[in-house]
Every structure is written in structure tokens, then in C-alpha cells.
Amino acid sequence: HDLRSPLAGIQGLVELAYKGDFPAEQIKELLPEMHQSLSYTVSLLDNLLFWSKSQLYSYEPEIKELDIAEIVRKYFLPNLQIMAKDKQIKITLNFQIHHALGLIDYNILEIVTRNICSNAIKFSPISSEIKIILEDNETYLKIKFTDQGVGMNPHHIDKIYKGVLFTTKGTSNEKGVGIGLNLCQELLQKCNSILEIQSELGKGTTVIVKIPKAMSKQ
């Protein structure tokens, strides 16, 4: 249902436009909503495909030594900023280190980063800010995703840790099936990494990803 409804709605509008039964001006007005709906659907589909692959084929991560700082800055940030554009949310980087070598699967890092930011965007008000902070300690590299959103109650956080799926609507009525953070936790565990959530209702959320450091010189 969550996949079919958005796609059916977009299909209906495209068919009306194709037949000339829908004025171009009205289509233009609906484009932001269509874009948001399509982005949600593609993200959900990606999650479901990766989750099903991991379940059916026992996906084994290809853990490599990666420069986390460079990858997030160069490859992930542009797409994250596009995701945040509809709600005019600013995504900024605050890296205490410019080169950070961690041991993780590239695809898993990408999915985790996209899902956490997508979740932060979903529950953040328009024109707010999401900060991505990178810190270094003795054992782990810590990526912190901090938003100014509605926050989470302890009951929901506990559900995520236990792998229980649930859904809540975002600040602009965005839908969701609750698979995002649960999938992140499951995938990170495959890479010996950790997901932590710090949140308070009305005061935003910080999601922390702890990635084992590589033994190479930092």
C-alpha cells in the first residue's frame, strides 16, 4: 500500500497531462508534492530491496578501509542536500578531522547515511538545520546526525533498538513504514558498528553511528 498509493497518484497525473486533460500551470503547482512523494517511494523501495536481499541471500558486507570524511563530504552530501531542498532544510558538515579511516562496507555506509538524514528531514520543521558531525576517539569514528525536529519518546527509541517496526507521520505529513532506522541498526551490526539514539520530545534528535577505526595512520 505504501508503495502503490504514491505511484498510482503520480501515474494518474502523468496520464492526465499526457492526454492534455490537465493544465500545465496546475501540474507545475503540484510538482513539489510529486517530487516529495516520489523521493519517499524510491527511498522506501531501496530499503525494501536491500533488506530483502540481506534476508534472502544472507548479504555479507565487504568491509574495507574507507576515508569516511571524504566520502560523506564528496559523494553523500550533494544528494542529501537535494533530499532536504523541498523543506528548505540546511545540511551542514562539522568535521573535527579532515581524514578519518574507518572499517565499513561502502553500500551500508551510504544506506545508513541516507536513511538517518531522510528520517531527520522527515521530522524537522521547514527552514531548520541538520548537522553532520564527525569525531574521533580511541576505538571508533563517530558520525553524529543532529536535527532540530520534534524528537522521539523513549518508547519509540526502545522499539528501534529491539527491531520493532512502527510508523509516524512527519512534520509535513510525510508517510513512512518505520523500516529505515531498524534497517540501519541491522546493517551496522554486520559491520561491527553501532547505532545510538539520543532524543527528547520537542528538542530534536541526535543519531550516532560508531564505526571501528582502521589501524592505518590517521
Given this model, what pLDDT does residue 60 score? 83
Confidence of residue 218 (pLDDT cuts 50, 70, 90): very low
Backbone angles phi, psi at 157, to 5 degrees: -65, -40
Residues 44-61, mean pLDDT to the nearest whole number: 69
Residues 175, 154 contacting (CB under 8 angstroms): no
CA distance 85 to 57: 36
What's the one-letter identity of residue 81? Q
Q: Tell me the Cα Rg of the chain.
A: 18
- Residue 151 pLDDT exceeds 50: yes
Interval 18-38: pLDDT, tens = 777 777 777 777 777 777 667
pLDDT at res. 15: 80
3-state SS of the chain: helix, strand, coil percent to 5? 50, 20, 30
Least confident of 29-38, 57-66, 150-159, 196-205: 29-38
Look at residue 91 and tell me whether its pLDDT is greater than 90: yes
Spatial distance between the Cα atoms of 135 and 128, rounded to a whole number of angstroms: 23
The residue-averaged pLDDT of 142-162 equals 92
**For the residues 199-210, what does the mean pLDDT come to?**
94
| Residue 215 or 122, more confident | 122
Cα–Cα distances in angstroms (integers) from residue 17 to residues 4, 27, 35, 151, in the given order: 20, 8, 16, 40
Segment among 79-93, 143-157, 180-194, 204-218 with least mean pLDDT = 204-218
Instruction: Identify the residue with better confidence: 71 or 170.
Output: 71
Residue 217: the pLDDT is 47
